[in-house]
Amino acid sequence: MAEIPTDLDWIRAAPEGEEGPGPWIEIAFGPGDLVYLRETSDPENVVTTTQKKWDAFVLGVQAGEFDHFAELPDE
């Protein structure tokens, strides 16, 4: 397993105005075009991906490609 840099600047992905322990997802952008993800309830368990794959994932979320994984409110 690759070494996780200790000086990452973690960004919490929580709804605006939400506080408390979560659990929330945190994201950090590291050297070598790597992106790190972790959950606040288990910060030692870190998933690493590339910037290119992260960008593709974010675009897929924005396009609704993963909506079937979530229970969305009826409109």
- The string of pLDDT tens digits covering residues 9-65 is 999 988 888 877 788 999 999 999 999 999 999 999 999 999 999 999 999 999 999
No. of helices (H) and no. of strands (E), the chain: 1, 4
Please give the pLDDT value at position 26.
95
Q: Which amino acid is at 7?
A: D
Q: What does pTM read for this prediction?
A: 0.82
At residue 42, the 3 state secondary structure works out as strand
CA torsion, ordered 32, 35, 40, 42, to nearest 10 deg: -70
| Greatest C-alpha distance within the chain | 45
| Measured distance CA(66)–CA(37) in Å, rounded | 18
Does residue 75 surpass a pLDDT of 70?
A: no
